[in-house]
Amino acid sequence: PAGSQGRANRAGDDRRARYFALAVLGRRNDPCALELAEKTFASNTSGRDRATLYRYIRSLDGNHTLPLARRWLGAEDSRDGVAAFLMALHSEPEDVPTIRTAFARHWSETECTYPLCDLVEALGRHPAQGPYEELRLTFNDVVYSYARERAAASMARVDPQFQDLFATECLWDCESGTQIVGLKIANLQLSLVAARVKALAVFGVEDDEDVKGVAAARLATV
């Protein structure tokens, strides 16, 4: 037992040392651990080791990680999900066709996954090529409320018809984030919208102070 305890302590010390080292490398924008990260993600490792490397890779800038995202997107292991997240952070206009292809694959396989949410955010980075049917599909058909929230936020940036077609509906969504997107854009000249904004300024979603504050601020502009 004593020997087992000692080995456990050493393993814990090694993990803490690895966590500290990767945190320092991330703050320095040092890509020297990317090979280790790729091996870990490619092996579908779970738990603390994966989480530590995930925090490390997302702290690096796009010069280091966007080339990896382009290579990893579509991989048949957890690199695919990491790539989708990196695309949400760093993708460039030329990545849009690849992002749309990845979206179609994830939608057909599982309808809504965390990578799908990241791909929705990635499309929102590129208004020049919008609007995107993928965002409208997510907003209208997805069952995961946070994916709907991300779709609304992305459409607000890239879809010129968002105010007319979707913003009003956002005001009745179950997620406060989706309501806030609608509050910032919905047409206050519509009596239905004005009444709802006034109600949210008083009550909000479960008395959500952010919703109430945004609603009050919007009314102050009238």
Q: For 150-200, what is each residue's pLDDT tens digit?
A: 999 999 999 999 999 999 999 999 999 999 999 999 999 999 999 999 999
Mean pLDDT across the stretch 31-35? 95
d(CA 149, CA 170): 9
Between vectors from CA 78 to CA 77 and to CA 80, what angle results, nearest 5°? 85
Distance set, CA 159 to CA 134, 152, 175 (Å): 11, 10, 21
Q: Which residues contact 119 (CB under 8 A, 6 or more apart)?
A: 84, 87, 88, 99, 102, 103, 106, 134
What pLDDT is stored for residue 63 in this prediction? 96
pTM: 0.88
Residue corresponding to tokens 């509050």: 183
Over the chain, what is the mean pLDDT?
90
Distance CA 46, CA 203 (A): 41
Give the integer Cα–Cα distance in Å for 159 and 47.
38
- C-alpha–C-alpha distance, residues 199 and 30, integer Å: 50
Please give the DSSP secondary-structure letter assigned to residue 163.
Answer: I
Number of C-beta neighbours around residue 202 at 10 A: 10
What average pLDDT does range 72-97 have in this prediction? Answer: 96
Q: State the Cα–Cα distance between residues 135 and 57, nearest whole angstrom.
A: 27
Euclidean distance between CA atoms 110 and 89, whole angstroms:
23
| Integer Cα distance of 63 and 184 in angstroms | 33
C-alpha span between 102 and 81 (Å, rounded):
10
What pLDDT, in 10s, does the model give residues 64-80?
A: 999 999 999 999 999 99
43-54 average pLDDT score = 90
